[in-house]
Structure 1
Amino acid sequence: MACLDPRNNFSQFNIDQLMRFTTLYPEDFGPGDCLCLPQQLRNFIAFVRHDSRFSTITNLGSLAQEMVKSGNHLVFQLVFRMIELTLVLPVATASVERAFYAMKIVKTDLRNRMKDEWMNDSLVVYIEKEIFSTIDNEKILQRFQSMSTRRNQLSFLSQTETTSSGSPSVYS
């Protein structure tokens, strides 16, 4: 990522390291792209070092904005794709780290035999707890109740109702 840093007139620019970066993203940079990219990188660096619009830029976000403003994101499409990936990478990494942290909380020693689907659902609820706190529990109960037949009906009754035989039963 430092190889694309625009500070000091792209002083850290390094084609070999940028090409190594593309090997990490084979879905974004195919074999044909990898053949064209070195020349496009050479042309790009020569262009931005001589264009006054790029001389005052100090970060990748501003570089991307200036490329779009000047239309150079279309001329240097592969370079622009690298810049986009570089800008998205920290956000994607943080999201994954938050998910693993949540998994550590949800999947304890007591719940270590949890199946993948149940764990994924539990993680979504844990990670998005702010959203789920706004949903009424009664709506959730109604949704689960309508999904399939259950031995007992789900209910939020504070007291259990009793049947004519005197045994407790819970129903909605």
Structure 2
Amino acid sequence: MGELETGRGLNQELGLIKAGDTRWGSHYKSFGNFISNFASIVDVLDALVVNASTPDERASASGFLRSCQTFETVFLLHLMTDVLGITYDLNGSLQNKEQDIANAMILVKVCKRRLQALRDNEWDPLLENHSGWDSLKEKVEFFCIKHKISLPNYDDPYANSGRSRRKVVDYTTLHHYRVELFYKIIDWQLQELNERFNEVTSDLLNGVACLNPIESFSSFDIKKIVRMAELYPDDFDGFSMRALENQLANYIIDVRDIDKVATATVERAFSAMKFIKNDLRNRMDDELLDGCIVPYVEKKVFKAVSNEWDEDSSSAIVIY
């Protein structure tokens, strides 16, 4: 239909894949693809209504078509895309085999702040627009106009198509979409994050992240580790907690000094390889390479070693 750029490999991720129960990223992709392919989906359903081989297929396609072309469906599609888009990077981080706990905890905080900003309709200086209700409402209305879907009168009492007409609710259409859907869904997502990453869990994970040895324990934080230890009062009494702080201070100085020495040794070895294994000696095996690098790196030690025979031990050291 000309709505999507075509070409080799470009449309691999545009199918309406089945959403997984445990992978929320699959829901985000499905909602996004539904919006991108909306016109094509409507055309296919319309064709099925006309060309269905059985009355049941025709009725089913007709029901799906009618559901798709409602303001509420479009509203929920865009709302869920916005909400799940905020947590998409966090989902990917938590499912990563190479788990970076520190980065995951940062993403949790970012997600909570962005969801709260979305709920509060805060002004976004980058987009020069409100990032919440106003932006969503404008986006949904533009989509509905483009696809010829009727817009509701927000001041009218909300009428649920699935309920009896006699049971009219006592709130407006605007209240339904803003309070019953927009606020409630965001609050559910925030509640889920707060329950999964409460204060105790966050302190524990932050403490574990501080023990990451990458970059000479760059994430090491004594206060966070002590806070983690406080979560186990049966194992750490008052005296143990005071001793722990000193032990941690001694530990980080010790391991960083060792790490510096190890790093310097490795760097010296690689520098030596550039001189030893040059173009003329490119095919030397590992044993010969080791034998050449050690004397080269430890020049001071080997200068004190004699090349002459030691008559007492009947041995000799030869420097190649």
TM-score with structure 2 setting the length: 0.24
TM-score with structure 1 setting the length: 0.41
Higher RCO (C-alpha under 8 Å, 6+ residues apart): 1
Which of the two has higher C-alpha Rg?
A: 2
